[in-house]
């Protein structure tokens, strides 16, 4: 699997036949993933079923990537499960894959070197991932057919857009935040919101950013995620989406970006309600003229649902849907 791997972690060579690895940071970091079970037979069956997945030779990883820049234990785990699902669609049935992964947990380890020539290897993180079946079901639920007959996956497409790409690489912090939330069944909207605001900031210097951004994946993934994790935010989605898209259209029509910045800067429930109230009063002429539709029942419903336990989530959901609508309207397509 390459001399670089052997030099990096020589003590782990006995694990290579049952370990997936992925390099990052120009080969200064390495993530290892391996299945663990009290039932050795179950582990052996799983490894046999997935043995064809492995790549050979001088590569930065020994499995095909489902999305780019996965460079932490949890993002690499999601990358591997998405790859397993993609492979199972052509070689192994979903039921067989789910059966073989049932009863398996994953251990993940991230190692790093301070410099390329250093002989010091640091263990940065160790993770135990107990429920890969639940993640597999989420990946399957995010599977989507397209109008052209091809298929795509809302989870894969969303995660593929989370790194902030630069000429010399990418900032993966938001990808890692999203991966942590997804694996832990935690609220994921804050990291998605942050990514969308980055796109909106980039639009100021490059209008073509809107055409490269696949906002539909964010919409589809959010809906599916909250349905799969049985999250209370699912009740907030319809009203949040309606009001948020109204705000996004209003920003585009009036060029008043302070709406979004004030929304993002709301620090408590009262601040959030004041932002919504101020928007309606300030731009009442636009609503009266019908340039932007205001669904009053949805605004009323959302205000009735907001309380001190969920106002942060509502703020993020409004920011997501407002940003998505603004980006869509900014695209020439």
pLDDT at 139: 94
Quick one: DSSP state of residue 30?
E
Residue 165's SS3 state is: strand
Looking at 82, 114, 140, the residue that finishes a domain is: 140
pLDDT at 245 exceeding the cut of 90: yes
In a domain, 103, yes or no: yes
SS3 content of the chain, % helix, strand, coil (to 5): 60, 15, 30
In a domain, 272, yes or no: yes
pLDDT at 230: 85
pLDDT bracket for residue 121 (50, 70, 90): confident
pLDDT at 92: 61
pLDDT at 54: 78
pLDDT at 93: 62
pLDDT at 298: 85
- In this prediction, residues 250-267 reach a mean pLDDT of 91
pLDDT bracket for residue 11 (50, 70, 90): very low
Same domain, 19 and 120: yes
pLDDT bracket for residue 157 (50, 70, 90): very high
Host domain of residue 271: 230-330
In a domain, 241, yes or no: yes
Cα-based distances in Å from 123 to 77, 180, 248? 17, 19, 44
In a domain, 305, yes or no: yes
- Asked if residue 164 lies in contact with residue 286, where contact means CB atoms within 8 angstroms, the answer is no
**What is the average pLDDT value for the chain, to the nearest integer?**
87
pLDDT at 207 exceeding the cut of 90: no
pLDDT bracket for residue 183 (50, 70, 90): very high
- DSSP code string of 150-163: -EEEHHHHHHHT-S
**Cβ contacts of 189 within 8 Å, gap of 6 or more:** 222, 233, 313, 316, 317, 320
Quick one: DSSP state of residue 291?
S
- Asked if residue 121 lies in contact with residue 42, where contact means CB atoms within 8 angstroms, the answer is no
Same domain, 133 and 237: no
**What's the CA gap between 80 and 220, in Å, rounded?**
21
In a domain, 159, yes or no: no
pLDDT at 14: 45
- In this prediction, residues 22-36 reach a mean pLDDT of 87
- Asked if residue 123 lies in contact with residue 135, where contact means CB atoms within 8 angstroms, the answer is no
Q: What is the pLDDT of residues 267-307, one digit of tens each?
A: 999 999 999 999 989 998 888 888 888 777 888 889 898 99
Q: Choose the most confident range, by mean pLDDT, from 93-102, 226-235, 243-252.
A: 243-252
Three-state SS letters, 280-330: HHHCHHHHHHCCCCCCHHHHHHHHHHCCCCCHHHHHHHHHHHHHHHHHHHH
In a domain, 70, yes or no: yes
Same domain, 34 and 134: yes
pLDDT at 32 exceeding the cut of 70: yes
pLDDT at 3: 41
Give the Cβ contact number of residue 19 at 10 Å. 20
In a domain, 313, yes or no: yes
- Asked if residue 75 lies in contact with residue 68, where contact means CB atoms within 8 angstroms, the answer is no
In a domain, 96, yes or no: yes
pLDDT at 74: 96
pLDDT at 240: 93
Backbone angles phi, psi at 108, to 5 degrees: -135, 140
Q: What is the pLDDT of residues 70-108, one digit of tens each?
A: 989 999 999 999 998 887 776 666 677 788 888 899 999
Same domain, 31 and 132: yes
- Give the number of residues written for the chain: 333
Residue 68's SS3 state is: coil
pLDDT at 109 exceeding the cut of 80: yes
Looking at 140, 169, 193, the residue that finishes a domain is: 140
pLDDT bracket for residue 192 (50, 70, 90): very high
- In this prediction, residues 158-183 reach a mean pLDDT of 93
- Asked if residue 299 lies in contact with residue 240, where contact means CB atoms within 8 angstroms, the answer is no
Counted domains in the chain: 2
- In this prediction, residues 306-310 reach a mean pLDDT of 92
Looking at 79, 114, 140, the residue that finishes a domain is: 140
pLDDT at 103: 83
């Amino acid at each position: 699997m390459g001399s670089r791997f052997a030099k990096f972690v020589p003590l782990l060579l006995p694990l290579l036949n049952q370990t997936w690895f992925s390099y990052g940071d120009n080969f200064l970091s390495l993530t290892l993933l391996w299945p663990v079970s009290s039932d050795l037979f179950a582990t052996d069956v799983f490894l046999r079923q997935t043995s064809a997945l492995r790549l050979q030779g001088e590569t930065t990883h020994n499995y095909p990537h489902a999305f780019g820049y996965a460079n932490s234990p949890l993002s690499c785990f999601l990358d591997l499960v998405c790859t397993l699902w993609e492979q199972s669609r052509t070689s192994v049935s979903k039921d067989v894959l789910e059966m073989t992964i049932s009863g398996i947990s994953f251990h993940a380890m991230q190692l790093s070197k301070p410099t390329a020539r250093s002989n010091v290897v640091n263990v940065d993180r160790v993770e135990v991932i107990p429920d890969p079946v639940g993640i597999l079901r989420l990946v399957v639920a995010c599977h989507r057919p397209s109008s052209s007959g091809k298929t795509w996956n809302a989870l894969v497409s969303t995660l593929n857009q989370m790194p902030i790409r630069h000429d010399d690489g990418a900032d993966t912090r938001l990808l890692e935040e999203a991966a942590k939330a997804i694996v832990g069944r935690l609220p994921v909207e804050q990291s998605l919101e942050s990514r969308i605001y980055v796109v909106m900031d980039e639009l100021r210097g490059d209008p073509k950013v809107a055409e490269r951004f696949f906002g539909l994946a964010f919409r589809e993934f959010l809906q599916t995620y909250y349905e799969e994790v049985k999250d209370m935010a699912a009740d907030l989605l319809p009203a949040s989406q309606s009001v948020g898209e109204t705000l996004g259209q209003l920003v585009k029509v009036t060029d008043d970006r302070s709406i979004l910045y004030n929304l993002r800067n709301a620090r408590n429930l009262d601040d959030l309600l004041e932002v919504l109230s101020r928007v309606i009063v300030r731009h009442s002429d636009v609503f009266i003229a019908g340039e932007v539709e205001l669904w009053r029942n949805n605004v009323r419903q959302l205000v009735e649902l907001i309380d001190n336990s969920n106002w942060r989530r509502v703020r993020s959901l409004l920011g997501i849907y407002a940003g998505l609508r603004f980006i869509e309207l900014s695209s020439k397509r």
